[in-house]
Amino acid sequence: MSALLQIGDLHARYGPVQVVTGMELEVADGEIVALVGANGAGKSTTLRAVAGLHREASGTIRFAGRDVLGASAERRARAGLRLVPEGRRLFGRLTVAENLTLGAATRPRAQRAEVARERAELLERFPALDAALGKPAATLSGGQQQQLALARALLGAPRLLLLDEPTLGLSPRLTDEVLALIASLPRERGIAVLLVEQHVRLALAIADRAAVLRRGRVVLAGAAADVLASPELEAQVLGEGVR
C-alpha cells in the first residue's frame, strides 16, 4: 500500500512550549491507524497540525503525494483530508439537515445524486438524526451530535478522516456503534482513518497499526495487535488511567 499521509519530523508548539517533537507517522490508503497516548501527549495537536488548523508547526506533511504543510485547512479539506475535532464543532443554531448540507458543500454539483444517496444511507444508519432533521444541532444529545459530526464529515467524501475522540461522552452502546462504523470505513467507502481515542483497547481492536505518543514523540509503533500485546503500552498509556 502507498502512503496516503506521511508525517515527517513534525514539530508543533504553543508559543515557546514545544508539544510535538520530531513526530513520524504514516497512514496508507484504506488503513486505520490509532494514535494513542496519555493526556497531554500531543495527539490533538498532531491532528490539528495535519488538518491545517494548528499553524505553529514545521516538518513534513505530505498528503496524496503533495506537501500540504503550507496549504490552508480548506485546501486540505478539499483534497480529502478532513478533521472531526474533539467537541464536535457543529453549527449549533443550524438544523441537522443544514449541517449535513454544509458537510457536502465541497462536492461538485455533478455528484448531487450520489450525495443524496450517501445522505439517505447515513440517516438509515443513524435513525436519531433522521428523526431530528429539522431541529437545531445544539438541541441534540451528545451522542447524536457525535453522529452528526461524523456524518457531516463523511458527506465531504474524505480520503482520510482525522478523528479526535469520536466516542467522547457516549454510552457504551453508542461507543460500540460509532467504532463499528469507523471500522467499516476502509472496506465500505475506501476511507483511511487516523484515530485518536480514549478507549485504547477498543481503538487498537479496530486499527491496523498503532503509534503510541509520549511527550510529542512516537515511542512505540507497529501492528495494532503487537502494540496491544506490548508491555510498553501498559507502561506508556494504560498505566496512566486510560482505558
Ligand X SMILES: Nc1ncnc2c1ncn2[C@@H]1O[C@H](COP(=O)(O)OP(=O)(O)OP(=O)(O)O)[C@@H](O)[C@H]1O
Q: Between residues 100 and 194, which has the closer beta carbon with respect to ligand X?
A: 194
Least distance between ligand X and beta carbon 220 (Å)? 15
- 8 Å CB contact between 18 and 54: no
**Alpha-helix residue ranges (DSSP H) falling in the chain:** 43-51, 73-78, 96-103, 112-125, 127-131, 142-154, 172-189, 200-206, 224-229, 231-236
Site string for ligand X, 3-22 (x = CB under 6 A): -----------x--x-x---
Q: Between residues 37 and 158, which has the closer beta carbon with respect to ligand X?
A: 37
Binds ligand X by CB under 6 A, chosen from 8, 39, 67, 131? 39
Residue 204 has which C-alpha cell?
A: 487498537
Least distance between ligand X and beta carbon 122 (Å)? 27
Q: Contact between 45 and ligand X (CB under 6 A)?
A: yes
Q: Between residues 115 and 227, which has the closer beta carbon with respect to ligand X?
A: 227
Least distance between ligand X and beta carbon 162 (Å)? 12
Q: Contact between 42 and ligand X (CB under 6 A)?
A: yes
Q: Contact between 103 and ligand X (CB under 6 A)?
A: no
Pick the closest to residue 86 from 23, 12, 162, 20 (CA basis).
162
Residue 42 has which C-alpha cell?
A: 500531543
Name residues whose C-beta falls within 8 Å of residue 129's C-beta, 6 or more positions apart in sequence.
96, 100, 122, 123, 144, 147, 148, 151
Least distance between ligand X and beta carbon 129 (Å)? 26
Let me know if 14 is exposed, middle or buried by CB neighbors in 10 A (0-12, 13-18, 19+): exposed
Task: List interacting residues with ligand X (CB under 6 A).
Answer: 14, 17, 19, 37, 39-45
